[in-house]
Amino acid sequence: MGDDPEAEPRRARRQRARLSPQALAAARGGVREGLDWLGRPPDATAGLLVRAVAVLARFLLFAVFRFRVTTSGQEHLPAGGGYLVVAAIHRGWMDPFLILHALPLEPRAWFLGSGPSAFSARWREWLLRRIGGMLPVWRGGVGVDQHVASARAVLANGGVFVLVPEGGVAGPPDRLGTFRTGAALIALRTGAPVVPIALAGADELYLGKRLASRILPPTNARELLGETWDGVLPEPGSRVELDLARRLTDRFSDLLGPAVAALYPETVDSPRYPRRFRGLTWLFLSRRER
């Protein structure tokens, strides 16, 4: 009984200390990012292995987990590839799959993703290198130039380069967190079309959970900045470029914030809906993300 003074107190579970990305990188003997890590050109075609993994993922997500996904706005997608996707919000491991579900299998989508989160196990790094679709970034790593090069390589090969400006998964389920400027810098330097995608529902997962995505009309950095920018690209790495990237980041937030807020109610189930296996929420999250 909880009131028994002689009962043995429950031992608190020891929590493992969280290592910083820099410490994780040092433990690996250094890290490689982007194209340097991939070791090959980022192709836009989906080979047999990629198609097989896609079929397996769809079976797991929609037949086993029975997720109910609503997607709208596919008519806004540009024909072919060669564009950027800027997506939010990011609240769980299901978000990349929501983006892939909204996009065609070809041209392939390549994500600028977190190395510390994705490579929490060696087998995950091996698999991602084999099937492709991700180019890793390590916070405190080599800087944005490497990732601009990754984006340019994907775009030049006719692929789709996906950016999730929030980075981590923490935050409210219906409002944006703080956007980082990396996506804006890549949009500025590449000049590529930008397709915003609003996401909702991945903050809590269980059997039959409702999730949603909405593709917004394509735009670009010049259009978003309007008359506040003369169209002249600043010197890379300069304070002027950073100021411009911050303004563009705010415009991304202005676009996606209302879309996420409008989308979220579609993912909220009735209180009477059975929420079985809520552990799915953390299934593919690393210890750091949990």
pLDDT digits (tens, 9 = 90+) for 175-188: 999 999 999 999 99
Token code pair at residue 4: 């028994």
Q: Which domains does the chain have, with CATH numbers?
A: 36-267 (3.40.1130)
Cα–Cα distance for residue pair 46/104, rounded to 1 Å: 10
pTM of structure: 0.88
Cβ count within 10 A of residue 137: 26
pLDDT at 139 (0 to 100): 67
Cα–Cα distance for residue pair 115/21, rounded to 1 Å: 9
Token code pair at residue 114: 């977190």
61, burial (CB in 10 Å: exposed 0-12, middle 13-18, buried 19+):
middle
Residue 94's SS3 state is: coil
Whether the ω angle into residue 89 lies within 30 degrees of 0, i.e. cis, is: yes
Cα–Cα distance for residue pair 185/290, rounded to 1 Å: 29
pLDDT at 155 (0 to 100): 97
Cα–Cα distance for residue pair 245/147, rounded to 1 Å: 15
Cα–Cα distance for residue pair 277/290, rounded to 1 Å: 16
Residues comprising the chain, all counted: 290
pLDDT at 224 (0 to 100): 96
Residues of the chain with pLDDT under 50: 1-17, 19
Cα–Cα distance for residue pair 262/200, rounded to 1 Å: 9
Residues in a beta bridge with 84? 161, 194
DSSP 219: B
Residue 235's SS3 state is: coil
pLDDT at 12 (0 to 100): 41
159, burial (CB in 10 Å: exposed 0-12, middle 13-18, buried 19+):
buried
pLDDT at 23 (0 to 100): 58
Q: Give the strand pairing for 210-215 and 194-200.
A: antiparallel
pLDDT at 14 (0 to 100): 43
pLDDT at 168 (0 to 100): 82
Cα→Cα distances 264→179, 189, 195, Å: 19, 32, 19
CA angle, corner 188, sides to 182 and 189, nearest 5?
A: 90
Cα→Cα distances 48→56, 123, 234, Å: 12, 20, 43
Q: What are the pLDDT digits (tens) for 38-88?
A: 999 999 999 999 999 999 999 999 999 999 999 999 999 999 999 999 999
Cα–Cα distance for residue pair 275/272, rounded to 1 Å: 9
